[in-house]
Amino acid sequence: MDQSNVPSSTLPPETHVVSVPAPTVRPRLTYLLAGITILVYLLQLASQPLLEFDLPLVLFAKINDYIRAGQIWRLITPILVHGSIMHIASNMYALFILGSDVESVMGYKRFLLLYLLAGFSGNVLSFLLSGNVSVGASTSIFGLIAAQGIFLYQNRALLPNATNALGRLASVLVINLVISLSPGIDLWGHLGGLFGGAIFAWLAGPRWVLEGLYPTLQVVDQHQGQHVVTGAAAVLLVFGTLAFLGMGIL
């Protein structure tokens, strides 16, 4: 970590860089979420020869008429179902790569909230702006991209090479948004997940500061407790209101 913004009195003599452990956790929910999603896809495959239709997709997909009829779980459950082996493979690969990094700095509770809220936000925007049936975890994946970018930006003073990492992440985002313009891909779901994830991450994501004097410096996360509640409430307020408008409740 780059400590160039730390007062020189707190640093060891004749140096401006020290190594301070970051408050991170070992990613576990990433693998649990991937495991659950893969299990649901196996049920999709099994149900087709047994029942002659895809039961999980029928129950969980984003289908606008059913949502308007009151099946509001369809604003979150599409993240569990997928349309093909390539569809789930690409999403689970992205989850493994991005999820491990984001979960390690966010911790378990915030990471789970981020994943679910981004999925909800994406499906709400898709519900409002697209009449097509939609499935897939990519709404949540775009939320992870947003959260990773905001974490790098907000903590750039303490993270070496944060600027380069932001540049690479921006390239990944642009490429994926261009791909999202292809027929059959839910651009609005991706944008909704991106916006929902960004709102939550900006308000509730890790905001690291240095505390203490050398050699007892420690990295402390300023965004805890109330910040997490505020971030989640903001996403639910914005996208919950949009969902109610789309359902004709407001």
| Cβ-contact 139, 193 below 8 angstroms | yes
Q: What share of the chain is helix, strand, coil (3-state, %, to 5)?
A: 65, 5, 30
Q: How far apart are CA 20 and CA 3, in angstroms?
A: 9
The separation between CA 159 and the C-alpha centre of its own chain, rounded to angstroms, equals 21
Helix (H, G, I), strand (E, B) or coil at 210: strand
Catalytic machinery residues = 138, 190
Q: How far apart are CA 77 and CA 71, in angstroms?
A: 11
| Cβ-contact 119, 143 below 8 angstroms | yes
| Cβ-contact 200, 233 below 8 angstroms | no
Q: How far apart are CA 175 and CA 70, in angstroms?
A: 36
Paired tokens of 55:
């039961």
Torsion sign over Cα 128, 172, 32, 230: negative
Q: How far apart are CA 157 and CA 64, in angstroms?
A: 45
Apex 121 CA angle, 115 and 125, nearest 5: 150
* H-run or E-run covering 102: helix 100-106
Q: How far apart are CA 247 and CA 229, in angstroms?
A: 26
